[in-house]
Amino acid sequence: MAAPLIINNAPQGHWESNTCCDTYVSPPQQPLQTHTGEFVCSDCITSLFQLAVKYDHHWSAKWGNIVLRIEDFESTLEPEMLAGLLWKRTALETEAERLAGLEPAGLKGQERRVDYQYCPACQVPIGLIDGCNHVVCDCHQNFCF
């Protein structure tokens, strides 16, 4: 299947985002072109990823019925948004492995309750290297290791 969005296939001069109907000038604002030929601004794509981070029922970000791969938009997304997406993807993949009774790939050879614990709120595995047993997860959950 072809990529749903093509970056840098920009018209020169003024163009309109087919999603929000805002008018932009290219360059500097480069549009993304959908597989159907529509032009979309990066703000509209970012809003799809924002929904995916905030609400589980919007995971993964989609354009129509095509899942948008995070890696395809690394240059478009702000670093904080990218970090949030990667964190959530890890949390969801880890939870799926845990529910399936599998040891998450990154934890092979480590012992639960000794080398790592699952965050009680988001189920992301967290290791404790040294220091006290109080841990604060990226999801802001506090717990004792």
DSSP 80: H
What is residue 10's predicted lDDT score, i.e. its pLDDT? 58
What is residue 1's predicted lDDT score, i.e. its pLDDT? 47
Considering the entire predicted model, what is its pTM?
Answer: 0.59
List, for residues 133-144, the tens digit of each pLDDT value: 888 887 888 988
List, for residues 35-89, the tens digit of each pLDDT value: 777 788 888 888 888 888 888 777 878 877 778 888 888 877 888 888 888 888 8
Strands (E), the chain: 5-7, 13-16, 23-26, 32-34, 39-40, 62-63, 66-67, 116-118, 125-127, 134-136, 142-144
What is residue 103's predicted lDDT score, i.e. its pLDDT? 65
Q: Which two tokens stand for residue 104?
A: 């998450």
